Amino acid sequence: MNLWYNMQKINKIIQAIPAENYKIEITFDDGLIKIVDFKNKIIKGIAKELENTDLFMSVKIGSGGELYWDNGYDFCPVALRME
């Protein structure tokens, strides 16, 4: 078991505002605000479906503080925070 990972607080996403050019302004529960560019993340598989701007703009926040879309694609807050 990785004790370092278990000791770290996972900051949840509390707000996600999609913008043009496949970017999302993300606010974490500790106040950190980041703009994440998803353009290089929507290249294959179900992620490729996010090229549909209506789908991309419909991003939601899950109960675990992650981002997700109705097509089943999701992104954990830890990975997005490290962007």
Q: Which domains does the chain have, with CATH numbers?
A: 9-81 (3.30.2020.10)
- The segments of the chain whose pLDDT lies below 70 read 1-8
pTM of the model: 0.85
28 close to 42: Cβ distance less than 8 angstroms: no
24 close to 81: Cβ distance less than 8 angstroms: no
- The label of the residue with tokens 């109705």 reads 70
Residue 8's pLDDT is what?
A: 65
Q: Other C-beta atoms within 10 Å of 55: how many?
A: 15
Q: Which residues contact 6 (CB under 8 A, 6 or more apart)?
A: none
Residue 1's pLDDT is what?
A: 44
